[in-house]
Structure 1
Amino acid sequence: MRYTNDNCTDTLLIDSFWMKGENLMRAIRLLLVNSFLMNVSFFAFIPFLSAYITGSLALSAGIAGVILMIRQLTQQGTSFLSGMLGDRFDYRILISTGMILRGAGFLLFSFCTTPMELIVAAVITGIGGSLFEPTSKAAMSIFTPPSKRGDIFALDKIVRHSGIICAGILGGILLQLDFFFSSFVCGGIFVFSGLITFSILPKENVNVPKQSFKDSWQKVKSDRLFIYFTISMIGFWFMFMQLYLTIPLHAAKVFNSPTFVSSLFIVYGMIVVFLQYPLQKWTKKFSRLSVIKVGMGIMGTGILLIGMSDSFLIFWGGFCAYAVGIMLVEPTSYEYTSEIAPPQFSASYFGFSLLAMAIGGSLSQGAGGWMYEHMPHVNWIICTLAGLISAIGIQWLQWILRKNIQFRESKNETYFM
């Protein structure tokens, strides 16, 4: 987990690009606008897709769950390959193509009437996300000076959750219309963003050596500590995905109000918008791995309180702790990945890191839903244990780095703990 001297040279090269000024600032602004629009479109569409499948198409909830799982597995499961494509070719092309494919997939859903057709649309939608997700984060990392990356990733999270809040308004409006209009509007947002990205995103600024697939694979495979870090993040994504599955179900059950779920996401979005940036500033005095470790512990505590709650105060106390844990872990993990990834392999590293989301998220959606239905108390305990095990994994990684730090410093290498 380190930069070598060659990587430091690459970092200085990127810093010299930053001195070009307006082009790179324009790139960062565009990527942040993309984050906002993508979340507006995604969360105004995906939460209502299940209702369309089970309502208008009269298919089972099980089929709806399978469609959503296929979409996620296709996206996060192929992100490593997409990341290697990004390091081999131009980030701008991958981001633009991915957004246009995502938009086409959204529009295709409105013409689907059978499970097989829905699966095809889900796969296209997932491939689109696979193309733009790791390359967008890599581009954001490349365009940003190392000292500012934590702030930019925190700002990106604020922007994304502002989009979620706006998505609730847009989704509510589109829900009153035919599903075709939801597909057309939300898909059109992605297509528009893709075309604008291809036209505006500065190509020349991602000026790092392009890598072959073999080189990308060998580099990531040889970084065993990064692979271990990715494995340790599986528990975080297992807990995180409960936000879209069992936590809303539990909230509706405890408070006997389906409308309570919408307020849940509004509150979550507002917590992130108002607290993420100052929280990120405060955590700069600590090491990134320590912040991630503590955040996982807070998340685990919060989700256990949510599961035990039968009153307003306990539920919201647990939910706020859960949200703070997410704010500590997610942007910090992106910052950490950007720091340990050699610039020429940035997209490959981000793509590989998303495998943790693919594994943790899929287990969370599949097993979590079944456990909540048949063994609800066990579900919350397993979620808490997942966070605890991941926190212990991060602690072990810190121990390994500390144990070897004197040897590494003797070889003039820099570590990020």
Structure 2
Amino acid sequence: MTLTGMISDRVGYRLTISLGFVLRGIGFGMFALGTSPLFIFVSAIIAGIGGSLFEPTGDAALTTLTNAQSRSRTYAVKKVTDNLGIVVSALLGSLLVSVSFHLLSLISGALFVIAGIMTYIRLPSMRIQVKPVAWGDMWRTVTRDKPFVHYVTVMIGYFFLFMQLYLAIPARIVDLTQQASSVSVVFLVISVMMILFQIPINMLVKRFNVIRTIQAGFALLGTGLLVLGNAGHVAVFVAGISLFAVGMMVIEPSSFDLTSRLARPDMTATYFGFYYLAMAIGGGISQGTGGLLMQVGSSSGLPGLIWWIGALVALLAIAGANPLRNSLSRSSGKEAP
């Protein structure tokens, strides 16, 4: 995504987002035609490249189209619409896949292609770099921005915790209920909570220092993991997942807002692309070690090991974020945001 962000800043956001949607649509459509594992693998790569084109560029476009005062709220609204889409797609997707996986793939692909065409028609043309910045200069600018690199390093911890939503948390609810179908309830609860509470929570936390807000979000994530990991009843598990969801709702708009503030105006997509390195690294570590920690914990009589490690990661992220306020003040020459 760092590379695609750099490309976006050079060629413009509208074309990059539109191309990303179309490529994602082609990749999804190819799933319907897959006759071998290799073909499915290639389809996934094409779909992934499409996502890498529109994800950081979409965030950069939101930044460009909004003023500084409304960016956090704009991103909160985006999270609400994202989760509305998740809820609707979960309902419709489960119906379609029971009819035909091929039909589901074709419809999903067609929706992305339509979104790409609509984006190209409706999104204003945003040429960010009037005079193109050299590729090497773009890379050196973002990698030598010490406060931003520090911030991205802290956010590795967020994505480590976030990915437990797809690993340890589903395993935990299945362990409690002995029903695999209960996993879908977890995602439904989080999506509904975000739809209902994301904007009110954003209005509440935007009054506070953004670094302190992110630290509070980490505290909620770590506490939520400990509660649900040690829950002996589904009701306690729901309380834990609710704390975890609130932590996500506190951190995500704040992290978007901070990235947009730190980004150089003519390199906004590059900065967002570099930010997503935190997702790649944190998510990769989480997926790589999460299952191992669960196995080690079970075999050594410490089934709660993964939850305590998660809480420790949250504490380390809180401590790591603490110096950011001063470093941001020094780099900007004014009070930290």
Tell me the equivalent position of 2:112. 190
Tell me the equivalent position of 1:377. 304
1:334 aligns with 2:242: no
Q: 1:132-171 maps to which residues of 2 (within 5 A)?
A: 132-171=54-93
8 Å CA contact retained: 1:339, 1:416: no
8 Å CA contact retained: 1:235, 1:360: yes
Instruction: Classify the secondary structure of the residue corresponding to 1:176.
Output: helix
Deviation, 1:248, is: 1.5
CA distance in structure 2 between the partners assigned to 1:111 and 1:291 by the alignment: 46
CA distance in structure 1 between the partners assigned to 2:27 and 2:172 by the alignment: 31
CA distance in structure 2 between the partners assigned to 1:114 and 1:368 by the alignment: 30
Report the TM-score, using the length of structure 1 for normalisation: 0.76
Report the TM-score, using the length of structure 2 for normalisation: 0.93
Tell me the equivalent position of 1:392. 319
CA distance in structure 1 between the partners assigned to 2:129 and 2:260 by the alignment: 14
Q: 1:262-277 maps to which residues of 2 (within 5 A)?
A: 262-277=184-199
1:290 aligns with 2:212: yes
Percent identity (aligned): 37
8 Å CA contact retained: 2:11, 2:127: no
Q: 1:252-271 maps to which residues of 2 (within 5 A)?
A: 252-271=174-193
Amino acid in structure 2 at the alignment position of 1:381 = W
Deviation, 1:221, is: 1.8
Tell me the equivalent position of 1:116. 38
Instruction: Classify the secondary structure of the residue corresponding to 1:217.
Output: helix
Instruction: Classify the secondary structure of the residue corresponding to 2:69.
Output: helix
Deviation, 1:113, is: 3.9
8 Å CA contact retained: 2:5, 2:53: yes
8 Å CA contact retained: 2:222, 2:244: yes
8 Å CA contact retained: 1:88, 1:213: no
8 Å CA contact retained: 2:263, 2:271: yes
CA distance in structure 1 between the partners assigned to 2:107 and 2:292 by the alignment: 33
Tell me the equivalent position of 1:228. 150
Out of 227, 233, 242, which is 1:311 matched to? 233
1:353 aligns with 2:280: no
Gaps of 5+ in 1: 1-78
Deviation, 1:207, is: 4.9
CA distance in structure 1 between the partners assigned to 2:277 and 2:212 by the alignment: 22
RMSD of the TM alignment (CA)? 1.7
Tell me the equivalent position of 1:44. none
- 1:221-244 deviations in Å (ceiling 9; x for gaps): 221110110011001001111112
Tell me the equivalent position of 1:40. none
CA distance in structure 2 between the partners assigned to 1:385 and 1:151 by the alignment: 30
Out of 81, 98, 102, which is 1:176 matched to? 98
